[in-house]
Structure 1
C-alpha cells in the first residue's frame, strides 16, 4: 500500500512540475578521479536570445546593479562568459577553473529588498562569482555569509511580465559542485561531489523523482520526453555510463554526447507549452584547463576557446564574439576572432528587459 501511495505521490508531483515549468535547460557535472573536471550545459529557449561570448580581463570595476546600496567589487580574475538578451550573464568560466551557470527555476522567490544590505542584481550575480572566487568553497562561503541580497529584473513572456526566476550551479576543478536556489525567501545550497545534473525543477525534488528509474534506484524505464524531470533522469543516468580514465578529448566528447541526449531538436517548440523549447546551443567547459567548447544547434561546427591563451591583464580590452552568426565560418580555436567591445550593459534589478528576437531570414 505504501509503495502505491509513493508512486501516486511522485506522479502527482511530476504533473505539477510540468504545469509550472516555463523554460528548459540542462546541466551536467562530471569529475571522475584523475580526469579533467567537466561541466556540460544545454541552453533551451523558444527564440533567439542574442547570445554573445565575452572575455573579461582582471581589474574591472563592477557594481551589483541595484538602485540602492549595490554591492561593489573589482574583478580579481579574468573570465570567459556568455550573455543573453545583451544584458545578463548566463554562463562562464574564470582563469582558476570556477564554472558558473544559471538555469530557469519557476519556484524561485526573492526576499523583500532590505537596502541596508548590499544588493546584487540577477543580471550580474553569476559574473560576481567568476570575478571573485577560485573555488566552489569560496563562492559558497560568500553566499552563506549573506554578503549580499539578490534581486531580480523583469521579463515579459507570452504577454505576462514577471521576475526572472533562476537557480545557479557552481562547479570547479576540484570535483566540487554547489546548486544555489532562492526558495520562500531563503537561500538553499546543495553540495555535490564528482557528479551532478540539474534542469528546471527544485533540486531536491529532481533527485526524488529520478529514483523511480532504472539505474537510479527504481524499476521504470528511462523517460524520453523533453520535460524537466525526464531530462534530469536521462542526464543523471548517462553520466554513470561515461568511461573512466578517458583522455581529455574523449572525456569532452563523452559529456557532449550526454548533453545531446538531453537536447530538444530544432522545430520541436510547443507554442502551448513553453517548457518544451529547442536547444539553441550546448557547451562543455573543462575546469582543469579553463577551456570552453561551444556548439550552436544551427551549425555542425564546434568553437573552442582556451582562456589561458587570452590576455587577461588589468587594462586589457574587453573582447566580444557572436557565436551564433559566425559558427558557419568559424571552427576550432577562435580566440583570435574576438574583437574589442565596450562592457555589457547589465540590466538593473527591478527593471524591464526589452529584447525582441530578430526575424529569421
Structure 2
C-alpha cells in the first residue's frame, strides 16, 4: 500500500508525493477540509483519546473512517502507509487513552506545525494505538511518515509493541514492508549496483523503494511552480502499479488507486485518481479553516470528474467517526 517521496525544488522548497496502492477498488475516498478548533475523539472506545485541532487541514479519507494522507495549514504533511509488521501492543492492557490507527495521521495534522514538534511529542506517546479489522479480516496496521516546509522528515513504526522513530531530512523515500531500517539496508546494496545499470523491477514494496529512490535522485530540481509539481507527479506516476494488478495475499502489493502531492510552501494539496483523467487540487489559502467553520469535502471517483482548482466546490460533509 503505497509509496512516498519528498521532492526538492530548485528554490529549495519541498513537495511530498504519495501513491495509494490498495486492494479494494470499491473503497470510498473523499478529500476533506477540517477546521481549527474541532473536537476530536480517537475512536469508539471507552477510553478514547480526545483533543481539539490546533490547525486546519485537508486530508484524504478512506471508508469514511480513516485519514490516510493530508496537509495542514502550517505545511505539515502526514501519510499513513500499510505496514504488515506493525505491532502496537495490547490496548486492553494499557491505562493510556486509545486512538484508532485511522485517526493517527489526523492527530499529527491537528496538533503539530513541524516534524520536530511531532517527534518530540512522540518520545513518550500520550496514547496507545488500536488497529481494527478491515472487511477482509486483516488488521488495519500502518506506519506514518511526516514531512514539513523545511524538508524535515520522520518515519514512525511500532514493532513488537515499541515505537521506533527515524528522523532525518535524508529520509526522502518510504514504502511498506519490510521495516524502514531494512528498506535502507536493501537500498544501500542497490546504490552500489548503480541504478543506471540495473534496478529491481517487481511491484513489491522493497523494489519500489529502490526504484523511486533512484528516480528521485535522478530527476532535476525544477523551479517552484508548475514544473516542480509536474516533476514530482511524474515520479509518482512512474512508480505506480497499473489498475487491476494485485496479490490477494499481500494488500501492500495492489493497484495504485490515487496519487497526492502536498506542496508545503504554497499550501496546495493535489490529488489524481487513477480512474479519472485529470489532476485536481485544493488551495488551503482559500479555505475557511477558522474555528466554527463547517467540515467540507468532495468525493473522489464520484459521479462527477474533478479537475483543476476545486477549492470552491467543496460542500458540507458529515463528521467522521474514526475506525
TM-score by length of structure 2 reads: 0.93
Deviations 1:104-160 (A, max 9, x none): 111101212244222221121111111110000111111112222222111142xxx
Quick one: which of 319, 342, 352 aligns to 2:296? 319
Q: In the alignment, what sits opposite 1:198?
A: 174
For 2:125 and 2:10, the matched residues in 1 are separated by 33
Q: Where in structure 2 are the equivalents of 1:23-172 lying within 5 Å?
A: 24-31=1-8, 34-46=11-23, 47-65=25-43, 67-113=45-91, 114-157=93-136, 161-172=137-148
Deviation at 1:230, TM superposition (A): 0.9
Matched, 1:217 2:195: no
- Identify which range, 100-109 or 259-268, moves more after superposition: 259-268
CA distance in 2, matches of 1:333, 1:82: 16
* TM-score, reference length from structure 1: 0.84
Q: Does the aligned pair in 2 maintain the 1:136–1:176 contact within 8 Å? A: yes
Q: 1:124 to 1:293 in 2, by over 3 A?
A: same
Contact 1:302–1:327 (8 Å) recurs in 2:
no
Offset, 1:259: 0.7
Residues 10, 224 of structure 2: 8 Å contact kept: no
Change (3 A) 1:100 1:272: closer
Structure 1 position 235 matched with structure 2 position 217:
no
Matched, 1:341 2:320: no
Q: CA deviation at 1:263?
A: 0.3
Which whole-Å CA distance do the structure 2 matches of 1:164 and 1:273 have between them?
13
Cα contact 2:13–2:150 (8 A) shared by 1: no
8 Å Cα contact 2:43-2:321 kept in structure 1: no
Cα 1:79–1:272 change in 2 (3 A) is closer
Residue 152 (structure 2) pairs with residue 176 (structure 1): yes
Structure 1 spans left out of the alignment, 5+ residues: 1-23, 348-361
**1:167 to 1:275, Cα distance in 2 relative to 1, 3 A:** closer
User: How far does residue 288 in structure 1 lie from its aligned partner after superposition?
Assistant: 1.0
Where has structure 1 moved over 6 Å in runs of 4 or more?
Answer: none
CA, structure 1 residues 67+146, in 2 after alignment: closer, same or farther (shift >3 Å)? Answer: same
* 2:192 partner SS: coil
Return the index of the structure with the highest Cα Rg. 1
